[in-house]
Amino acid sequence: MKAALDLRQTQRLTMTPQLQQAIRLLQMNTAEFSAALIDAHETNPLLEMEDPEGRSEAIPEEGYAGLEFMDELRGSFNEDWVSRRAGTASPASALSDGVDRIPAHAADASLHESLEEQLCLLALEPMQKFLADHIIRNLNDAGYLEAGLETILDEVRHDLEPGTRISMSDMEAALSRVQSLDPIGIGARTPGECLLLQLSALDPEVPGLETARNLVKSHLPLLARRDLQALRRKLAVDHGELREAIELVRHLSPHPGYSVGDVSVNYVTPDVLVERRRGGWAARLNTAALPRVMINQDYQHLVTENAGKESFSRLNSQLKDARWLLSNIEKRHDTILSVAARIVANQQAFFEHGPAAMKPMTMREIAETLDIHESTVSRAVNGKYMLTPLGTFELRYFFSTEVGAGNGHQSSSVAIRALIRELVEAESPAKPISDMKICEALRSRGFEIARRTVAKYREQMNIPPSGRRKSLLGAPGS
């Protein structure tokens, strides 16, 4: 084989560290971006930072009520139960048997602290209190006992002196003590047990109580499926008695622990604010949500004067890094604002009339309008949020596919989903409309849409089929 030189001319894209940093910063959400700025400030002595808490951003006060556009359809048992949080009262307080119970504690006390304080007020032997303490420490935030009593018993025996005798009956007695504390239902091991504890605290004369106990004890799956005929047959009751039992169960709390203390909530910090201005709606950056990073002028002057000295080579390199960072931060802000402004300009009808007026829009359209790559638009909307008078939306929410309309125009899939939700919310609980009826209603408004598409959009919004939407408290024949 003969050796030879082969010269070829090729083109290759080389990503410099500065370009890589710009791409990385653009695709970060607000929390990640703030953390990156803090990290840069801590590692580069030439950077100084102004805390965002020292600045205030003028956010319009009127019309910024949150729009729960992603909430599931109201009225479903699962949805009602999951939505119960701090401040929800148990029916036991309203329908009590007259027994004085320990009052609920301040909201700033955690569930475990509240239970420990109540435990100290009870006349318990040291060993009983010791076992109850162990059980309380194994409760989750919802108030359920996640570990089995056998597991807790093994932990207790490990902590006690050798030879100390503790039986399972002792653990069950301690659990009974814990379950006697407020909020009622605490210490349950299953949702059914939690509901039974709350039913046991009600006045025995409450209508439908015994039926409700039997329902919770043996037929919760039928209740979840809304199979009223099977429930009436299994419980051997008429529609009125079943209605009373169901009403009792609906007012119970399956997560009693959430009514005590603070429940952790993850808040979204909007990157963009939308305001009404002369001539329409406009977007601006929420700069107050981010720390402000600057180059220390004294250090910059010192490094510039001694740029040729070897002892200042590291500081000179850090000055260049700081300048690149500030430049990339500016580019990030400009890109996000440009994309957001284009979204707002294209979706003026949405801000005036809501989701039903959403227009179809793709990232490619925005990229072509701004003369940037589609991947740049994707990075700019990734994890970014926009605060509007209709609520807070992720920027990706405004991009949707086209759905044909009978008038030759195209409508957004988001708008179709909004119309479907409107139709479902307006239906009679005792006689919900089917997917075919929804399809016919949309066609009467000029939207050519297939029944299977309606079913797909309905499922995407977590709306059950019409058979499962039928109200549990509907007509006797339901």
| pLDDT tens digits, one per residue of 314-370 | 888 888 999 999 999 999 999 999 999 999 999 998 898 888 888 888 899 999 999
For residue 74, give both structure tokens. Answer: 């109201």
Residues 442-461: pLDDT tens digits?
A: 888 777 778 888 888 888 88
Instruction: Name which of 216, 295, 280 is nearest 248 in CA terms.
Output: 216
DSSP 428: B
Q: Say if CB 448 and CB 404 are below 8 A apart.
A: yes
Instruction: Quote the tokens at residue 265.
Output: 């909530």
- Report the 10 Å Cβ neighbour count for 225: 12
Which element (helix H / strand E) includes 138? none
Print pLDDT tens along the chain (478 aa).
667 777 777 766 567 888 888 888 998 888 889 889 999 989 998 899 876 554 444 444 443 333 232 233 223 333 333 333 333 333 333 333 333 333 333 334 578 888 888 888 888 888 888 888 888 888 888 888 887 888 888 777 777 777 778 888 888 988 989 898 888 998 988 888 899 999 988 888 888 889 888 888 888 888 877 778 888 888 888 888 888 888 888 888 888 888 876 555 557 789 999 998 887 899 999 887 778 889 989 888 888 888 778 778 888 888 899 999 999 999 999 999 999 999 999 999 889 888 888 888 889 999 999 999 998 999 999 889 999 988 889 998 898 776 655 554 566 778 888 888 888 888 887 788 888 888 888 888 777 778 888 888 888 888 888 877 765 555 444 4
In which element (H, E) is residue 412 found?
Answer: strand 410-412
Q: Which of 374, 356, 454 is nearest to 412 (CA)?
A: 356
Integer Cα distance of 405 and 449 in angstroms: 8
Q: What are phi and psi of 61, to 5 degrees?
A: -85, -30
218: closest CA among 202, 206, 204, 236? 236
Residues 203 and 186: their CA atoms lie apart, in Å, by 19
Cα 109 to its chain centre, rounded Å, is 23
CA 48 from chain center: how many Å?
A: 34
Residue found under tokens 């805390």: 51
Residue 362 corresponds to which tokens in the numbers above? 């793709």
- Residue 266 to residue 248: CA distance in whole angstroms: 32
Residue 231 CA to its chain's centroid (Å) = 34
